[in-house]
Chains A and B, each alone.
Chain A
Amino acid sequence: MTNSYDAIVIGGGHNGLTNGAYLAKAGLRTLILERRHLVGGAAITEELHPGFQFTTFSYALSLLRPDIIHELELTKHGFMPLLMPSTFAPMENGDYLLMGQDRNENLREIARHSSHDADAYEQYDHDMTMVIQAVKPLFDKVPPNVFGKSPEDLMEMAELAQHLRGLESRVMHNLVRLITGSVADFLDDYFESDIIKGWIASSGIIGSKVGPMSQGSGLVLLFHNMGEHDGSFGSWAFHKGGNGGFTQVLARAAQSFGAEIRLDSTVSHVITRDGKAMGVALDDGTEFRAGIVVSAADPRRTFMEFVDPRELPSDLVDSIERYRFQGVSSKVNFALDGLPTFPTLEGGDHFRGFTNIGPSLEYIERAFDEAKYGWYSTRPYIDGAIQSTIDPDMAPPGKHVMSCFVQYTPYHLARSDWDTEREQMADQVQATLESFFPGFGSLVLHREVVTPLDIERVAGLPEGNIFHGELFGPQMFFFRPAPGWSQYRTPIEGYYQCGSGTHPGGCVTGGPARLASRQILKDLDARRS
């Protein structure tokens, strides 16, 4: 039967592709179903203006789990993370913080703003690295089921306790301060300079409805520092060809292991019988059979749309109903006629990495203030990235593409809707850029505006939350996506979850997919023996 498989993965985003690749590599006849005409989900690259490659949604790579690169042999399929040589944080007074690749040069640059903050930065970096080292083993593991009573559950809890007991007190305390506290408080303990704090604090708000002064922003900061490239924590890269280039690599890897990818295939529901998954049905009525069905979609669709909530325990349904998405991020992407001008710096080398428009804690917190009351920031926080400075294939010679990640733009607007406000919001983003880079507007050849509503409509992420649900304590680790259901299984036998709504969470990590595949294969072994 041609419509029969061993495993079906719903969703061809980076987690769906990763999961499908692992299952195919293990010998399962695997089908990956993608709703759109291209794979990648929220990690795509599209030529929206002739010669200009836009990373519509996700735009940089950091948290990809290194094991995936090796286990899926991604380097054979074109994996190429192009590291950023610099990070640039312009200030409103015309000054700037420009961090490069040389440690001593960076310390001098920090000292230019504050002598105190130079070695404080070294201390901060070291403390952060110690915390990351402590958390990393948990990041790359299936979370223990703290509510389980099986010998395996108890053993996993004992292992977790042992791991935590092995930490130095200072590391443990910093870990708790980060997980429960605010970025502002954490950074105030180290730094005095606004620009240093603003620059670092930006990682504590990305994708999350928190300001740097909100409790919980520390966790977001820690999360974004969990990434690594070539052994260096917290470093970021542009993948060759944008993040769409990366998901193309994943697709080739999955296909090389035998996975089949079917595009333009919208899943209507998972077919179940007697509490077991039997396959999936598409919108057009086509059915595919498989004893294993894996949803790479978010928890809401996984539990409330693909299956009938009435088949699920009410506790789980309650948890998913109150699971917080509340997207606050937009993208405004530009095709530019040339590099922007920053009056106090010559040349364009400062644009070879992130351009961080968030010059102080206060700037970012004020941008957040408006979001609390259901409106978008007058002067938003912007994470800009002119990828064509690193990857010339992204734009014609001398021209550039600039990806701008924007906060805050809450999904639920208090007095209007996003179809009405889209261009006005983008105009404010452009005006903010203009204030830092005079003449910016005259460089714009094309503008792509992606609101939280567009993220939801096009990429399918509920409320436009880029992580498949907020990164905050009650939705992390053994609570992600719901207490008792953090081990990638669902109450329906053979139906699994592998999206960013599961541990370790959002960003292009592939971690959920990799860990889910382990669980699926483990269950399969147990069933066979």
Chain B
Amino acid sequence: MLLKTPFHDRVEALNQTQLWNHWAGHLVVDKYQMSEKFEYFAIRNSAGFFDTSPLYKYRFSGRDVESYLAGVLARDIRRCRPGQAQYTIWCDDRGFVLEDGVILRLGPDDFLLTTAEPNFAYFQRLVGRYQVEIEDVSTEYAGFALQGPRSRKILSALAPEVEDLAYFHLTPAKIAGTPVTISRTGFTGDLGYEVWIPSDGGLAVWDAIVAAGAGQGMIPFGQIALLMARIEAGLLLINVDFESSRFAFNDEHRSTPLELGLGWMFKDLAEGDRNFIGARAIRAEMANGSSRWKLMGLVVDYQEYDRLYQGAGLVPPKDHTPVHGDMMVYGDDGTRVGYATSFSYSPMLQRHIALARVRPDLAKVGTRVNLEFTVNHRYVQVGAHVARLPLYNPERKTA
């Protein structure tokens, strides 16, 4: 049965389109108003809020929890101090990525992991002799994401702790009498926060934040605006930009962290003492340079794009809706040198952009490649250049 999030009554009242989508078994909104673009601009210009409750949430605790997680997660959890958060991944023993998530360290031996897909059995199977307890708290917490340049101002009026909260840090706070955890995290690549609320206090906290945002240009945003923002921000989406190695049918559908551009998680891997699932394979991949791809940003040549359409007598479409699916990337000699998995028009950059895997030798900023799509029902290629992620990265995100 489809679930409703703890905010559903409010979400439903705001959903002008009355269109619904499903995410992790919950009813969710694609766009609250007729055009997602205005929701997108709220994220970049003022503030937008998003119901992030459907995420799976697992609580890890117990005496051995740090060493357990250090062996399970591919990013070094020991560097995540209490009061901090990490974007992390977990891999299989062949060094392929299983899934990703954000983990909050609530206390020395207390972690909360949020992730898009169910992973409870996977984590539990690895507990072994460790003294670790894992609890599925998915429905116990509502998640309220407040993102955008005004998010700090709005939220700090209710929770002054937010004023000085650093990027990927978290703090306990009280909003509308409800104890909450606020993390400076999000999926938009902008200044933003996520408020984790005991489900039964969800509506009161929602109402308090919405009231605090009145007159500040704060509006709710749906999945589409979120996906536009996340492509600009270079944030990966499971089952779009990568698949879990657990459920892949062959290695073409598997990716290593290095291939996904997550090599920054392993800077000290070669000389350090880290031992986690997949570490040996990742070390070998680093040493041998055996990565097949590297995920980078692509920025489409706007003049070529316009010329292609104008030459065909068409108005060049600058569609704001993200396109999820393979688009081929070719070299000038016609050989396939990669593929894009997410494509979108970026209103902030005024360009078409993509997240794409390219051959590692081409993964240099400025390398020219050709992206394939169709014009007048024929395959055509348009020039694009390789760019570093994130493609849009405002200073305020981390400042």
Contacts and interface: CB of A to CB of B under 8 A. Distances in A.
A85 B350 contact: no
A83 B41 contact: yes
Contact of B350 (A129, A133, A230): A230
B323 to A, nearest CB: 15
Nearest to A81: B347
B267 to A, nearest CB: 28
Contact of A133 (B44, B310, B345): B310
A70 B350 contact: yes
A233 interface: yes
Contacts of B272: none
A392 B348 contact: no
Interface string B294-331: 00000000110000001001011110100000000000
A182 to B, nearest CB: 27
Contact of B45 (A100, A129, A391): A391
Nearest to A388: B217
Nearest to B317: A231
A233 B315 contact: yes
B318 A231 contact: yes
B34 interface: yes
Given A83-B37, A133-B310, A231 B315 contact: yes
Interface residues of B, number: 29
B223 interface: no
Contacts of A81: 347
Interface in A375-394: 390-393
Given A240-B45, A398-B214, A105 B350 contact: no
- How many residues of A sit at the interface, in one of the four size bands? 20 to 34
Nearest to B149: A393
B230 interface: no
B38 interface: yes
Nearest to B347: A230
A392 B215 contact: yes
A75 B217 contact: no
Given A70-B302, A75-B350, A82-B45, A105 B216 contact: no
Contacts of B171: none
A27 interface: no
A69 B302 CA distance: 11
A101 B215 contact: no
Contacts of B216: 392, 397
Contacts of A397: 214-216
A493 B169 CA distance: 63
Contacts of B310: 133
B33 A85 contact: yes
B150 interface: yes
B38 A85 contact: yes
7 cross-chain pairs, A with B, having the tightest CB-CB distances, nearest first: A397-B215, A231-B318, A392-B217, A101-B35, A102-B34, A398-B215, A101-B34
Interface of B: 33-35, 37-38, 41, 44-46, 150, 214-217, 302-303, 310, 313, 315-318, 320, 345, 347-351
20 contacts: A67-B303, A70-B303, A75-B349, A83-B37, A83-B38, A85-B33, A85-B35, A101-B33, A102-B34, A105-B34, A133-B315, A231-B317, A233-B315, A352-B38, A391-B217, A392-B216, A392-B217, A393-B46, A398-B214, A398-B215
